[in-house]
Amino acid sequence: MESTILKRRDIDFLLYEWLNVESLTGRARYADHSRETFNAAIDSAEQIATDLFATHNKKSDAQEPHFDGERVTIIPEVKTALDAFCAAGFMAAGQDYEYEGMQLPYVVDRAIAAYFTAANVATSAYTFLTMGNANTLLKTATPRQVERFVRPQLAGRFFGTMCLSEPQAGSSLSDITTRAEPDPVDGPEGERQYRLRGNKMWISAGEHELSENIVHLVLAKIPGPDGKLIPGVKGISLFIVPKYLVDEDGSIGERNDIALAGLNHKMGNRGTTNCLLNFGEGRFKPEGRAGAIGYLVGEPHKGLANMFHMMNEARIGVGLGATVLGATGYLHALDYARNRPQGRHPAEKDPAKPQVAIIEHTDVRRMLLAQKAYTEGALALIMYCARLVDEQRTGDSPEAQARAGMLLDFLTPIAKSWPSQWCTEANSLAIQVHGGYGYTREYNVEQFYRDNRLNPIHEGTHGIHGLDLLGRKVSIQQGALFKAVSEEVTGTIVKARAADAADLHAYAGQLEALWTRIGQVTQTLYGAGDMNKTLANASLYLEAVGHVVIAWMWLEQAIVAAKKGDDDFYRGKLQACRYFFNWELPKSAQQLDLLETIDTTTLDMQDAWF
Amino acid sequence: MESTILKRRDIDFLLYEWLNVESLTGRARYADHSRETFNAAIDSAEQIATDLFATHNKKSDAQEPHFDGERVTIIPEVKTALDAFCAAGFMAAGQDYEYEGMQLPYVVDRAIAAYFTAANVATSAYTFLTMGNANTLLKTATPRQVERFVRPQLAGRFFGTMCLSEPQAGSSLSDITTRAEPDPVDGPEGERQYRLRGNKMWISAGEHELSENIVHLVLAKIPGPDGKLIPGVKGISLFIVPKYLVDEDGSIGERNDIALAGLNHKMGNRGTTNCLLNFGEGRFKPEGRAGAIGYLVGEPHKGLANMFHMMNEARIGVGLGATVLGATGYLHALDYARNRPQGRHPAEKDPAKPQVAIIEHTDVRRMLLAQKAYTEGALALIMYCARLVDEQRTGDSPEAQARAGMLLDFLTPIAKSWPSQWCTEANSLAIQVHGGYGYTREYNVEQFYRDNRLNPIHEGTHGIHGLDLLGRKVSIQQGALFKAVSEEVTGTIVKARAADAADLHAYAGQLEALWTRIGQVTQTLYGAGDMNKTLANASLYLEAVGHVVIAWMWLEQAIVAAKKGDDDFYRGKLQACRYFFNWELPKSAQQLDLLETIDTTTLDMQDAWF
């Protein structure tokens, strides 16, 4: 049986036939690498994901982490899997050799991540949070902090978290009230040592015993001279707050003043602990007194900017997770559809004839084709973004690097939100293909659907990303980001028109018309003269632009496929592209029509009328 | 705090201000009734639903029924609630006085059902299955069968099921293989007594100890003279197969040969047992030998037609369940949005100002308005259908009754499928309004979302209803059903154009254009010359027609609201109608465009290309 985790053929297509990832080996950073080393790493990931991650995915959902008031218990398979992940060096797959890393391109690192996430999103979360934490610190931490808190994370000894939200401040970070006050001790961190007090909510991987220590990255406010917290985001600073203090020789010291208030019990993603943490309430007394000891990272009051690096990476990570949950659900549904006999063709009137596999039914093929179009379209976007990260890091010129950064900034809200919406829809279709079986926990797809429903919520809700795209990304730098993406889209249109395939010429025309339309509608919205009106339908704008971006990704794939000749794989790519342009893209046209009217239906709605 | 189960104001609006339900009291069957007696019954339902059904909804999800190999254990609150339901007489709310019924109109009975289902869909399921079972038997069973199996169900002593699917025959009933062979005994049922052998899958309420007995209605095939089962649906007969035989005095006799093979473990609807039952495998030996004793209902080989009465009722019941799960989710989200402070208005630059309730954010209002539009639009359709049932039963002339039946036949696949799709979407939006909290089992909305996801699957999948609408309902009787609905839609358009409200004139034009379009597209599809092509996109057709039907329901509501003047409730109705026409209805236009091309993308897709 083919793997139902991910379709390797598709990964290879994206990396080698489309994104030309082998060419990266011509750059100094990746000079030791080759297609063979890339493949060896992905092979290893696929193996461990198959053998150790997928195998406990259902169990860690059914037997979720449990807190008895003292300790959190997690099924042992989670630690076994994570230990294997770390032992294989994947925690540092993309890091420099000096950090014991593999120095793999980010796009290859994401292919690796795709396997682990598709196999078990909940267990994988521990690794991604740790890698994001380490990357943030590598940008801004002192060499001493890197030694004490980054190296052990990259080695897999410590795991990491990001602590942003508070019970009264979810999406609104400016309202956090966790206080950080200077700790007047003459310790090795000097003036960087603070005492933190406050409550942090929604902390994924916030408590467990999977690693020797947990490195919390915490946003908190340093009070002003009057003792008051500065309102707004300006007052936010970033701190390392370890679960256990780390002694001078790097060994684990005493327990810091961080207490688990309780675990959240989620609909899905149950294998990842998610909790409310109380910092500095006096449950523990590190260095003799209450207050969680934290170390300032970077400059005071610049915490949000520092944390945003982690958040952008996490956002593409969310998009990746949503995508591969959709993709694995699709493969499960495909496998079921090929093997489940039920019913007959409409033209077959003889009930004595044997039943056919349900993939023979057009409506089942519709559901499978939609899943293919959503998930392979989304994966293309995620891999394209990952390739841009490599370009941003190692591009041939500062201009090329800056341009990649602009493209990435524009595409990030879409790469986070589009898969979260449409690959969850793919999971719903995977259930539907399974019929009643799909609704039971005896099968796998209902869990994917529950797991995926988190993705439109965390790392910025759907609505927040709509505001980010329409309120910031299209307009900042005098529209330079939008212009850069437009040039890339135009490049695709030109290539499609040069292709030896009439369908592609028609798709190029559709894409061009809609991209032009986006530009016009954006101008119309900004001409509304009232930012409330401009932004009222930002979520719809995000969805409309998202669909057009995915159509662009499909046209890119179709251009490659059309060149390759008459092979089932390429025929499938072309058919999925056809599906997307015929069935999906018209939805954008309708959304842009509505946006153009600067519709105020939702703005005008009054509380009392509900 | 207002009720978060259902909004009584909306129920009253539908019954008394729109559907003119009071006028039914002019008919002989309902002559003893008045608005006061209708309200008293609904009040009682609301009270019991609030006090005894809603209160264990979470608990029966968290502590689902358990089978230890011998007995099924269900939390005791379920029985307490059902006993109260039966004691209040609701099992026979719509039945004749001669069956100890309340003889309430079906539309009032559905308002009652709405409360119980919204409060606890899983516990309510036991009652609906029993009522559907009893109604089926009242159509076709012998007086003796009615005495022994219907009266105890209407009194709440026995509960009922419907046993259709088998492991190898889910949507394809023609492939069932349960055998029913004549039992040559001279019992009181005479030649109606058979012995059944076979396995039945997906039996909701198939095993429990909530009632004294369980009356299974089972589809099985009587072998022909050659001992072979007749292929196809023609061989199907309907049987009563009780869990316990019933003695001549009506008391409970020995155990019948029905064994529980196991419970299915579902994503939602966990409080309703759902199981695989083995009939006649010899676990029990009723009347001395193996084989489940069953009693033929109606004529042999007419089982499917007899069962379809129950299925049509069940389909509107599924639509109702989907609708009110959406509706209660909406009320929970509304309550949360009014009470959760987070963030500030876009124009507010001072972070020291207090946070506002999230209902102040336009995007949150969008999500609430969409939920209102979906759920109140769906509830209008369900109540309209229920009113048609009353018309079918008690209309002034045979012609009026027949016409109501035609309208109902056409609308049933939509009343089942549209709420299943869009009120599940409403539940997703309810989660989104709650943010991270909505994703946790500490809140209610994630359960509604899980519960509702069943509805596009059972009682005929989405795809099956698409085939029913496009392949049968629009074309049978030379299109008479479609014509009847068209006349009703036209009546609404005429009323809207006569209304003193310019908006309504515009909506009337939109609705007219789209309804005309549906007629044209249907003709185009039937002109394809190949039923495979005609039906390839039947699911899309179902969705397109569904949205237009709901727009019609909204225009009906808006006509009433526009007359009533400047009250918050009516303003809300008008704004939701505006939302539906501006935001939702254009989706149909785009779907009809695609349908008109007789698109073969999904038909052309090949297995090997996936």
Classify residue B585 as exposed, middle or buried by CB count within 10 Å of its CB (0-12, 13-18, 19+): buried
CA distance A424 to chain B (A): 11
Q: Which helix (H) or strand (E) holds B470?
A: none
Per CB-CB distance under 8 Å, the chain A contacts of B345 are 532
C-alpha A392/C-alpha A402 separation (Å) is 6
Contact assignment for B439 to A453 by CB distance below 8 Å: yes
Tell me how close the Cα of A9 comes to any Cα of chain B, in angstroms.
Answer: 11
What is the enclosing helix (H) or strand (E) of B254? strand B252-255
The CA distance from A347 to A190, in Å, is: 81
**Do the Cβ atoms of A431 and B457 come within 8 Å?**
yes
Residues in chain A: 610
**CB spacing of A362 vs B202 below 8 angstroms:** no
Sort residue A370 into left (φ over 0), alpha (ψ -120 to 50) or beta: alpha
Contact present, A387 and A403 (Cβ < 8 Å): no
Contact A564, B605 (CB under 8 A): no
Inter-CA distances, A88 with A45, A93, A122, A558, B88, Å: 9, 9, 19, 36, 66
Q: Is the pLDDT assigned to residue A171 strictly greater than 90?
A: no
For residue B289, what is the enclosing H or E element? none
Distance in angstroms between the alpha carbons of the first and the last residue of chain A: 52
Residues with Cβ within 8 Å of A122's Cβ and at least 6 positions away in sequence, in order, are A57, A60, A61, A269, A270, A271, A272, A451
Alpha-carbon torsion, ordered A579, A584, A590, A596, to 10 deg? -120
DSSP conformational letter for A607: G
Mean pLDDT of A469-477: 96
SS3 category, B123: helix
- Pairing mode, if any, of strands B72-73 and B66-67? antiparallel
* CA separation for the pair B410, A371 (Å, rounded): 30
* Confidence band for A113, pLDDT divided at 50, 70 and 90: very high
Chosen for mutation from A263, A267, A454 (greatest number of chain B CBs closer than 10 Å) is: A267
A53-104, pLDDT tens digit by residue? 999 999 999 999 999 999 999 999 999 999 999 999 999 999 999 999 999 9
Please, what sign has the CA dihedral across residues A602, A603, A609, A610?
positive
In sequence order, which residues have a C-beta less than 8 Å from that of residue B382 and are 6 or more positions away?
B110, B316, B319, B320, B323, B415, B419
Question: In chain B, which residues have their Cβ closer than 8 Å to the Cβ of A345?
Answer: 532
- Range A151-165 average pLDDT: 97
- CA distance linking residue A130 with residue A149, whole number of Å: 11
Chain B residues within an 8 Å CB radius of A362: 532, 535-537, 602-603
| Pairing outcome for strands B258-263 and A258-263 | unpaired
Cβ within 8 Å of A, B 450-509? 450, 453-454, 456-458, 461-463, 466-467, 471
Interface of A with B in 522-561 (CB under 8 A): 531-532, 535-539
Give the minimum alpha-carbon distance from B533 to chain A in angstroms, rounded to a whole number: 10
Rounded (10°) angle between helices B398-434 and B445-452 = 140
Residue of A nearest to B331 (CA): A610
- Residue A36 in tokens: 């063979």
Distance in angstroms (rounded) separating the CA atoms of residues A42 and A105: 12
Nearest CB to A601 within list B458, B575, B609: B575
Residues 6-65 of B with CB under 8 A from A: none
Among residues 343-402 of chain B, which lie with CB inside 8 Å of chain A? Answer: 343-347, 350-352, 355, 359, 361-366, 368-369, 372
Residue A97's SS3 state is helix
Q: Which residues contact A469 (CB under 8 A, 6 or more apart)?
A: A410, A413, A414, A538, A541, A542, A545
> What is the C-alpha separation between B122 and B270, in angstroms, rounded?
7
What is residue A1's predicted lDDT score, i.e. its pLDDT? 60
**Listed residue (B297, B317, B319, B316) closest to B306, CA to CA:** B297
Give the ranges where A435-537 is alpha helix by DSSP (H): 445-452, 462-468, 476-498, 502-526, 531-535
- Confirm if B268 and B441 have CB atoms less than 8 A apart: no
Mean pLDDT of A302-327: 90
Q: Which two tokens stand for residue A138?
A: 């590598």
SS (H, E, C) A243-304: CEEECCCCCEEEECCEEEEEECCECCCCCCCEEEEEECCCCCCHHHCCCEEEEEECCCCCHH
Nearest to A197 by CA among A257, A133, A253: A257
Our CA angle for A382, A385, A391, nearest 5°, is 150
Where are chain B's structural domains? Answer: 462-599
The whole-number pLDDT of residue B1 equals 60
- According to DSSP, the β-strands at A244-246 and A252-255 are antiparallel
Q: Is B566 on the interface with A (CB under 8 A)?
A: no
DSSP string, A318-329: HHHHHHHHHHHH
pTM: 0.98
* Residues of chain A above pLDDT 70, percent: 100
Q: Testing the interface with A: which of B421, B431, B602 to mutate, by most A Cβ within 10 A?
A: B602
Mutate to test the interface with B, among A446, A554, A587, A605 (most CBs of B within 10 A): A605
Which residues of chain A does B572 touch, with a Cβ-Cβ cutoff of 8 Å? 608-610
Q: Would you state the pLDDT for residue A215?
A: 98
| pLDDT tens digits for range A211-220 | 999 999 999 9
Enumerate the β-bridge partners of residue A255.
A244
The 3-state DSSP class for residue B440 equals strand
Strand partners, A28: none
Question: Exposed, middle or buried by CB within 10 Å (0-12, 13-18, 19+), for A289?
Answer: exposed
With CB atoms and an 8 Å threshold, state whether A603 touches B439.
no
| Identity of residue A485 | V
Q: Give the integer Cα–Cα distance in Å for A481 and A549.
A: 14
pLDDT in tens, A435-450: 999 999 999 999 999 9
β-pairing, A236-242 vs A158-163, is unpaired
Q: How high is the pLDDT of residue B2? A: 79
Low-confidence residues in chain B, pLDDT < 70: 1
